[in-house]
Amino acid sequence: MSQELEDMLTDDGEEEPDDYILESNELDASEDTESEPSSSYTHSVSLDEIRKKWARAENDSGSPEFQIAGMTERIMYLTKHMQQNPKDFSTRRGLLALVNKRRRLLNYLFRVNQDKYVEIIASLGIRHKAPGRVMTREEVYGRFSQRKKK
């Protein structure tokens, strides 16, 4: 029995290959499989691209076109998020606030520069009703007869 034990310990026959050691070509093969970038990364890249397109200058960060373009991209991202996570109420609240903020900026851009307004609406595919004139009380209720005589 001790002879068998010595034979097993001193057996210079075949060595078992180690499974956990990889060859250099195996490492390259695993890197070749491309995975899709994360959605947050693709969102940030597309946000940078669209902001560069609408920036008035290289260091622009405050022009209405720049802000509207960035907000539109964020709205699209959050809309996809809401479709996947319908119970995320804090994101829904933030999305509504962002849509309203963009609407106010579009109203401002319409007052200041209608050509840019039309261009950005068409380019980004935004549905926005141009702000109209506020009607006076007489214009709103003038078609109704007065119940009370003056």
CB 30 within 8 A of CB 39: no
- Model confidence at 8, in pLDDT bands (50, 70, 90)? low
- Is residue 106 one of the residues assigned to a domain? yes
CA distance 100 to 123: 20
Which of these, 101, 149, 116, lies nearest to 93 by C-alpha position? 101
CA distance 146 to 129: 32
CA distance 96 to 100: 6
CA distance 63 to 57: 9
Cα dist. 92→40, 71, 88, 114, 121 in Å?
Answer: 18, 15, 6, 30, 23
- Is residue 19 one of the residues assigned to a domain? no
- Is residue 140 one of the residues assigned to a domain? no
Task: Compute CA 77 distance to the chain's CA centroid, rounded to the nearest angstrom.
Answer: 3
- Is residue 32 one of the residues assigned to a domain? no
CATH at 73 = 1.10.287.10
| Reported pTM | 0.67
Residue 112: phi, psi to the nearest 5?
-85, -50
Helix (H) or strand (E) holding 111: helix 89-112
Q: What is the pLDDT of residues 19-76, one digit of tens each?
A: 667 666 666 655 555 788 888 899 999 999 999 999 999 998 899 999 999 999 999 9
- Is residue 117 one of the residues assigned to a domain? yes
Which of these, 53, 78, 73, lies nearest to 63 by C-alpha position? 53
Which residue has 């009607």 as its token pair? Answer: 135
What pLDDT, on a 0 to 100 scale, did the predictor assign at position 22? 66
pLDDT at 102 over 70: yes
Q: What is the pLDDT of residues 83-99, one digit of tens each?
A: 999 999 999 999 999 99
- Is residue 50 one of the residues assigned to a domain? no
What pLDDT, on a 0 to 100 scale, did the predictor assign at position 150? 63
- Residue-number span of the structural domain to which 78 is assigned: 62-124
The count of domains in the chain is: 1
- Is residue 36 one of the residues assigned to a domain? no
- Is residue 22 one of the residues assigned to a domain? no
